[in-house]
Amino acid sequence: MKDRPGATIINMASRAGKVAKGGQAAYCVAKTGVIMLTKCMAIEFAPYQVRVNAVCPGQIQTDLREWDISWSRW
């Protein structure tokens, strides 16, 4: 990437990397790690004009989310 000025790296993180949620410690920590990795990479690649960003989408209503909601009520 250093040899490709103007290149972009996009990492996928999650809102969970910014907002803690009970019962999801490992997932939240992993996503926080992706966010920090992105920040460090952005600093390291800046001299080479390579942009590094992370996308942090929120929850999406899916069947899995419905299961998570119903399961957590137990």
* One-letter amino acid for residue 57 of the chain: P
How many CB atoms lie under 10 A from the CB of residue 52? Answer: 20
Is there a domain that residue 2 lies in?
no
* One-letter amino acid for residue 70 of the chain: S
Is there a domain that residue 3 lies in?
no
Is there a domain that residue 19 lies in?
yes
Is there a domain that residue 1 lies in?
no
- Tell me, yes or no, if 48 is annotated catalytic: no
Can you give the pTM of this predicted structure? 0.76
Is there a domain that residue 48 lies in?
yes
The catalytically annotated residue of 20, 25, 27, 65 is: 27
Report the C-alpha gap between 64 and 60 in whole angstroms: 9
Is there a domain that residue 56 lies in?
yes
- Residue 27's domain comprises 8-72
Report the C-alpha gap between 59 and 74 in whole angstroms: 21
Tell me the H-state helices in the chain: 25-45, 63-72
Encode pLDDT of 16-56 as tens digits: 999 888 888 999 999 999 999 999 999 999 999 999 999 99
Is there a domain that residue 41 lies in?
yes
Q: What are phi and psi of 62, to 5 degrees?
A: -130, 175
Domain count, the chain: 1
